[in-house]
Structure 1
């Protein structure tokens, strides 16, 4: 009897919306239980055509927790020149963090949401990819940098005086216009402006 295979549902967004950015990514990828590399190099399993991306930028690494049958995953940063935001945490070169069921990841302008649907198979996993036309992670005045070595102070991914919404951001549908034609974000800004007056 076959054991159910772990499924990773990976949604990707890049603000340029260039078809070349995700041109080398299939809609589905079957992979063994070795680390799954993300980067712009030819050895990357998830190959993104974004110039500021490292050849090996990060990896999704499957492992088995003691006493647990399903595969678990951690995300490891492999880039010396850039940082990776994962669920509100900043990872630098060779730092890693365990993944939960839904994970929000941002790096080099790319937004990625990884959903883990665990199966019992330790030999293989399947990645299904979705390319989003709209942002996956909403942050106020995001300030990502890919050259953190030159920055003396680490900047949070939100603007000064603002709080993070659900750590790095919160996963939601794009704001929908209301009957008056204004989005929820526009209404919130107007409300804040009225309080200041």
Structure 2
């Protein structure tokens, strides 16, 4: 079932144009990383059928990985809508975590109420280096919640992200992943075997793959 979800979600992301593979014309991320791939999962909002399938995939994995979950937490801003759809479908409380605390009002970092000791699951749209996801998890824990698991739509599979999740003792499960998406793109002749190898090199060492 998990393998089928990975294939289906990869297909959705490619078909709606959420993922752009460009080995010859690189994208520059805010972190300064030169990337041959760009993933914009915000496009899922525009497609009702696609976003419903993403919601169903999240709900399936949530019930499998954290069946006793009491709180859904979205990471701002991209994952807020997905957390809201999942929380509504499962009739669960929801909060979201900002990238930084507000500089006015109550200066909240976590928006919504976190009951002490409640078991939360974090919903993320995309995991690259893992920094924002792990910061959100730590913020929820600091607010009194228990977090053992993060669910995300897609991950680039960077070793840096794996280490960060291990360091904070939190599991990460994604609806699809880099290798699944690349294989599907190759099968559909979106990329060549040579370009697939280049993209794999990027995933293994995103900061040094061009050296």
TM-score range, shorter chain: under 0.3
Higher RCO, 1 or 2 (CA under 8 Å, sep at least 6)? Answer: 1
Q: Which has the higher strand share?
A: 1
Q: Please, what TM-score do these two structures have when normalized by structure 1? A: 0.28
Point out the structure with max Rg over C-alpha: 1
Q: Please, what TM-score do these two structures have when normalized by structure 2? A: 0.27
Q: Which has the higher helix share?
A: 2
